[in-house]
Amino acid sequence: MRRKQLGRRIKLLRKERKLSQEALAELIDKSVDTISNIERGFASTRISTAFEIAQALKVSFTDLFDWVETVKQAPQQKAQAALVEKFRALLQGSAQATLADVAELTRAISEAASRQK
């Protein structure tokens, strides 16, 4: 069960960063089959591989195991978490951040500021 949860989390993070399985495999010097098996929960993941995946996805190691909170979150909390992740990517200088991400973050900040008044 935990392998599947970890696999789903890795897949979600990979897709958020617009990386293919091939690209992730290349970044960590593993085969596409390995990435596929990890994402489907068919293979145990070595800790060293999990660290490499986290580094390639530009997240902390513990972010890979953040599915517990994700599952329990309400839709608005999930949306907020996604915005935080986009903001984190921008702060880290991620090439994956797009103008649409910046616009979405700007809108969210503006809406939050309006609610504070």
pLDDT attached to residue 102: 74
pLDDT attached to residue 73: 56
pLDDT in tens, 23-35: 999 999 999 999 9
pLDDT in tens, 43-61: 888 888 999 999 999 988 8
> Would the pTM of this model clear 0.75, i.e. be above it?
no
74 vs 65, which has greater pLDDT?
A: 65
- Could you give the CA distance from residue 76 to residue 74 in angstroms, rounded to a whole number? 6
Mean of pLDDT values over 77-99: 71
pLDDT attached to residue 106: 80
pLDDT at 72 over 60: no
pLDDT attached to residue 70: 47
Mean of pLDDT values over 81-101: 71
Tokens describing residue 3: 């392998």
User: Could you name the CATH architecture of 2-69?
Assistant: Orthogonal Bundle (1.10)
Q: Domain residue spans in the chain?
A: 2-69, 73-116
What is 69-91 written as a DSSP string? HHHH--HHHHHHHHHHHHHHHHH
